């Protein structure tokens, strides 16, 4: 029997709270009809931007997630058999997607404790919390059906619907018409990475700090393809989807996600506004476990690519490590450059701000180049196996001795194996699945992680290839 690759997620924070029911009121139906009649034939042709504005900053009015929840819209109890789309997207989001419980997490026991530690009276009133736990747009952009308690809802990711809902409901228009009307292109890996990472890492206007982490916020561990696969999906990639939208393999999504995460990190470290809390660089961008670890059990091990000794805080370079392995598959020269520049960055972080900024400036151009290369690349089966082998070899050489890089490597290997399975290039991946499960077990609990346990899992992943 064929075995599918299993990719568990240990990193979702916050409890799931169901708080919405799929229904459409009479007033909401009236609103929908007015939107349709007003927009069906009046969308003007505007060329789509190469870099679409994130929904949070687009200035588009919100109609609210309930707008999507009608039983004949996206609120069906189960998928429709003969529909081009599932029709139960709202129910999937409301019942199974942690994003819908993001606002409620602010009033959980942990949320209250974090707020208290930060000196915040109510996190549900605080912009720094609301910007990522809700669709926190200005009041003037909130329709009467908009509810801040919806959390990270439909329009948080797909964009304010006031201009594209008419097209969506009517079925008129091509994909470009929707983009021109303000829908966000989540099918594009680069755009999706920019969107997800704006909260799961940071952006210039939604900056996460070590102070927030110190108050008790869960550590942010994120990989674009793995989290996309486990969201859960409220769409299906069928012939209709492929005709209308861009389709990318999981490996391409992973590659673009790694490059974008590295680029965002470099940009954040170079941004004076995000490094002004009395210490440089901002500690959020360091490897947590370089400082936070048991003093009873010696864990420190040298990494040749870092070239710094024990007792020195180390920047979180997990995305750069993945990027270096990836780059070797498309441009070995860039991979070698990336290794040299990453080592220089680590060394500069203990030499002062001027040296660090110089190293970041050198690294920035290389990373940006790789973002564009991966966005334009397709990875065939041979390339996927090459990257798989390189990841395992890199780990066995000691590059994944720290937990955060081991997490990224594990999710990467899962993405690769899932993409190979989807391509039909391998009939039976049982051995790989068992080895991957060992890797996930090794990283399951931070307090139990050891390089030796992870190395044993990597040896199993290497043996599965023989």
Confidence label for 9 from pLDDT (cuts 50, 70 and 90):
low
Per-residue pLDDT, averaged over 434-458, amounts to: 94
Confidence label for 221 from pLDDT (cuts 50, 70 and 90):
very high
**Low-confidence winner among 11-25, 70-84, 273-287, 314-328 (lowest mean pLDDT):** 11-25
What pLDDT, on a 0 to 100 scale, did the predictor assign at position 429? 85
- Residue 62: φ, ψ to 5°: -100, 135
| 1: pLDDT strictly greater than 70 | no
State how far the Cα of 44 lies from the Cα of 301, in Å rounded to an integer: 60
> Of 43-57, 238-252, 302-316, 351-365, which one has max mean pLDDT?
351-365
**b/e burial code for range 21-48 (CB count within 10 A of at least 16 → b):** ebebeeebeebbeebbeebeeebeeeee
Per-residue pLDDT, averaged over 80-106, amounts to: 84
State how far the Cα of 330 lies from the Cα of 316, in Å rounded to an integer: 24
Per-residue pLDDT, averaged over 7-12, amounts to: 58
| 192: pLDDT strictly greater than 90 | yes
pLDDT in tens, 350-395: 788 899 999 999 999 999 999 999 998 889 999 999 999 999 999 9
- Token pair in block for residue 73: 């819209």
Tell me: cis bond preceding 196? Omega within 30 of 0 counts.
no
Mean pLDDT of the chain: 85
What pLDDT, on a 0 to 100 scale, did the predictor assign at position 278? 65
**Low-confidence winner among 222-236, 256-270, 298-312, 398-412 (lowest mean pLDDT):** 298-312
**Do 406 and 442 contact (CB within 8 A), yes or no?**
yes
Confidence label for 404 from pLDDT (cuts 50, 70 and 90):
very high
What pLDDT, on a 0 to 100 scale, did the predictor assign at position 87? 67
Per-residue pLDDT, averaged over 433-450, amounts to: 93
The reply to whether the predicted model has a pTM over 0.85 is yes
Per-residue pLDDT, averaged over 13-21, amounts to: 36
- Token pair in block for residue 118: 């930060």
- Of 181 and 1, the structure prediction assigns the larger pLDDT to 181
pLDDT in tens, 112-121: 999 999 999 9
What pLDDT, on a 0 to 100 scale, did the predictor assign at position 44? 35
| 237: pLDDT strictly greater than 80 | no
What pLDDT, on a 0 to 100 scale, did the predictor assign at position 3? 58
**Do 324 and 343 contact (CB within 8 A), yes or no?**
no
| 83: pLDDT strictly greater than 80 | no
Return the axis-axis angle of helices 381-394 and 403-423, rounded to nearest 10°: 160
**Do 156 and 55 contact (CB within 8 A), yes or no?**
yes
| 18: pLDDT strictly greater than 90 | no
State how far the Cα of 248 lies from the Cα of 228, in Å rounded to an integer: 12
**Low-confidence winner among 167-176, 232-241, 292-301, 423-432 (lowest mean pLDDT):** 292-301
What pLDDT, on a 0 to 100 scale, did the predictor assign at position 25? 39
- Of 405 and 230, the structure prediction assigns the larger pLDDT to 405
């Amino acid at each position: 029997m064929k075995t599918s690759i299993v990719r568990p997620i240990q990193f979702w924070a916050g409890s799931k709270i169901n708080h919405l029911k799929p229904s459409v009121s009479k007033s909401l139906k009236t609103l929908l009809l007015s939107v349709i009649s007003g927009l069906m034939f009046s969308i003007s042709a505007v060329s789509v931007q190469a870099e679409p504005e994130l929904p949070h900053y687009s200035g588009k009015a919100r109609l609210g997630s309930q707008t999507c929840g009608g039983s004949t819209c996206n609120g069906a109890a189960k998928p429709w058999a003969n529909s081009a789309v599932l029709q139960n997207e709202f129910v999937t989001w409301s019942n199974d997607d942690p994003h819908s419980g993001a606002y409620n997490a602010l009033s959980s026991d942990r949320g209250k404790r974090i707020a208290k530690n930060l000196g915040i009276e109510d996190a549900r009133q605080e912009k720094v919390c609301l910007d990522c736990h809700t669709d926190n747009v200005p009041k003037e952009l909130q329709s009467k059906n908009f509810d801040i308690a919806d959390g990270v809802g439909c329009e948080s990711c797909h964009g304010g619907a006031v201009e594209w809902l008419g097209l969506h409901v009517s079925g008129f228009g091509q994909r470009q018409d929707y983009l021109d009307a303000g829908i966000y292109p989540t099918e594009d890996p680069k755009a999706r990475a920019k969107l997800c990472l704006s909260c799961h890492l940071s952006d210039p206007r939604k900056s996460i700090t070590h102070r927030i982490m110190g108050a008790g916020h869960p550590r942010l561990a994120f990989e674009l393809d793995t989290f996309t696969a486990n969201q859960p999906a409220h769409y299906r990639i069928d012939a209709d989807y492929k005709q209308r939208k861009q389709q990318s393999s999981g490996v391409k999504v992973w590659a673009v996600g790694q490059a974008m995460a590295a680029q965002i990190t470099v940009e954040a470290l170079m941004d004076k506004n995000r490094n002004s809390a009395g210490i440089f660089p901002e500690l959020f961008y360091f490897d947590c476990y370089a400082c936070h670890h048991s003093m009873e059990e010696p864990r420190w091990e040298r990494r040749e690519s870092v070239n710094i000794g024990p007792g020195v805080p180390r920047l979180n370079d997990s995305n750069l490590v993945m990027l270096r392995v990836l780059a070797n598959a498309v441009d070995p020269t860039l991979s070698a450059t990336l290794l040299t520049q990453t080592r220089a960055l680590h060394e500069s972080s203990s030499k002062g701000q001027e040296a660090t900024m110089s190293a970041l400036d050198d690294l920035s151009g290389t990373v940006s180049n790789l973002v564009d290369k991966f966005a334009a690349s397709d990875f065939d089966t041979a390339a996927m196996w090459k990257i798989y082998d390189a990841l395992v070899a890199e780990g066995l050489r000691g590059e994944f001795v720290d937990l955060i890089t081991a997490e990224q490597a594990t999710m990467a290997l899962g993405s690769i194996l899932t993409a190979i399975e989807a391509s039909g290039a391998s009939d039976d991946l049982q051995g790989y699945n068992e080895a991957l499960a060992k890797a996930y077990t090794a990283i399951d609990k931070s307090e139990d992680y050891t390089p030796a346990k992870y190395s044993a899992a990597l040896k199993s992943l290497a043996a599965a290839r023989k």
